[in-house]
């Protein structure tokens, strides 16, 4: 399977690294020396696409990447995000032009670079027209501070409105066997407009990495607030993972490699699995050699129909923040 992808004219490996896990969202931050070792190992394995955000660790994740990867800046494509940051310990969505400009300057400083290759609007601030937020990002392109504009978790209609203001290079959304929302329209819109698609949480936030209960999750882990990880829903979903594991055995790969290969069969999709363990990083990179048969792909699609998934991917409050194509 070819992993070659193109984002804003840059040829990349379709297997990138989502860096959030190292600083944010899944419990305590990874120890600095362990995080550094993982990032450098990713470079050695050929990862050339690293994804971070101002939100992650409220700046700490960008600082980590700047500290570890700045000496290797020419070796990789760097993506970060604005429009959702941490203020006084709280997550705040703010898509105003002045905020976007200020966030970008702060990110450049933390990342120890003068240029971010791909800069996403992390969430659309629905109190601000998307045209205004994208216009601010277009100004950053013109100033040379960013190379391309990305959007995250928006609908087809919003993507089209944004693209009319300035070309959007990439669209990032949660996409995996058990999170199929992009198939409701935005994936085809990306294909039509020539927008790359970047799948975050491609391993279903650990569900397709072997997580079978929440006993090991620490306080503050965002999965504890997600309906799919409620005990009853998680137990109801486990047979799907067990069935997928059997298909992985047939394909001579692991369950995570199966889940990544299912996504990577589409040449417009890049994946950015996150991990805190080098062994998992190395396992994920092995997905590049996995080839799934048409019968296996059909069986996976049959098993993981959205109607078979128990629980929403976010709680009700968070879902109101996301701009989605209708069911």
C-alpha to C-alpha distance for 71 and 306, rounded to whole angstroms = 44
Is residue 2 scored above 80 in pLDDT? no
What pLDDT, on a 0 to 100 scale, did the predictor assign at position 195? 98
pTM of the model: 0.97
Task: Report domain extents, the chain.
Answer: 4-212+266-289
Is residue 1 scored above 70 in pLDDT? no
pLDDT tens for each residue of 301-319: 999 999 999 999 999 999 9
C-alpha to C-alpha distance for 124 and 87, rounded to whole angstroms = 17
- The answer to whether the CB of 14 falls within 8 A of the CB of 47 is no
66: confidence class by pLDDT, cuts 50, 70, 90: very high
Closest C-alpha among 72, 32, 67 to residue 48 = 72
Is residue 202 scored above 70 in pLDDT? yes
Mention the CATH class of domain 4-212+266-289: alpha beta
Tell me which residues are annotated as active site: 56
327: confidence class by pLDDT, cuts 50, 70, 90: confident
106: exposed, middle or buried (C-beta count within 10 Å: 0-12, 13-18, 19+)?
middle
C-alpha to C-alpha distance for 163 and 190, rounded to whole angstroms = 10
pLDDT tens for each residue of 163-182: 999 999 999 999 999 999 99
pLDDT tens for each residue of 239-298: 999 999 999 999 999 999 999 999 999 999 999 999 999 999 999 999 999 999 999 999
């Amino acid at each position: 399977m070819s992993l070659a992808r193109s984002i804003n004219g840059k040829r990349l490996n379709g297997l990138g690294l989502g860096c959030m896990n190292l600083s944010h969202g899944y419990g305590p931050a990874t120890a600095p020396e362990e995080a550094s070792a993982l990032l450098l190992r990713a470079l050695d394995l050929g990862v050339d696409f690293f994804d971070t955000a101002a939100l992650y660790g409220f700046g700490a994740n960008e600082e980590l990447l700047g500290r570890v990867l700045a000496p290797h800046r020419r070796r990789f494509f760097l993506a970060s995000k604005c429009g959702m940051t941490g203020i006084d310990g709280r997550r705040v969505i703010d898509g105003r032009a002045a905020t976007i400009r200020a966030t970008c300057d702060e990110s450049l400083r933390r990342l120890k670079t003068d240029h971010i290759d791909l800069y996403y609007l992390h969430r659309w601030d629905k109190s601000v027209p998307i045209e205004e937020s994208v216009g601010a990002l277009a100004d950053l392109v013109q100033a040379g501070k960013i190379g391309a504009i990305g959007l995250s978790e928006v609908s087809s209609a919003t993507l089209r409105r944004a693209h009319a203001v300035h070309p959007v290079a990439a669209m990032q959304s949660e996409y995996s066997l058990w999170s199929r929302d992009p198939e409701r329209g935005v994936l085809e819109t990306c294909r039509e407009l020539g927008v790359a698609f970047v799948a975050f949480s491609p391993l279903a936030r650990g569900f397709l990495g072997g997580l079978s209960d929440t006993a090991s999750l620490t306080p503050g882990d965002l999965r504890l607030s997600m309906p799919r990880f409620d005990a009853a829903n998680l137990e109801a979903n486990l047979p799907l993972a067990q069935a997928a594991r059997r298909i992985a055995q047939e394909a001579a790969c692991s369950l995570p490699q199966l889940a990544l290969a299912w996504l990577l069969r589409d040449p417009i999709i890049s994946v950015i699995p996150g991990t805190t363990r080098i062994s998992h990083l190395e396992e994920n990179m092995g997905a590049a050699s996995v080839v799934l048969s048409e019968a296996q792909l059909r069986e996976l699609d049959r098993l993981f129909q959205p109607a078979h998934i128990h629980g929403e991917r976010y709680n009700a409050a968070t879902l109101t923040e996301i701009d989605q194509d209708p069911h």
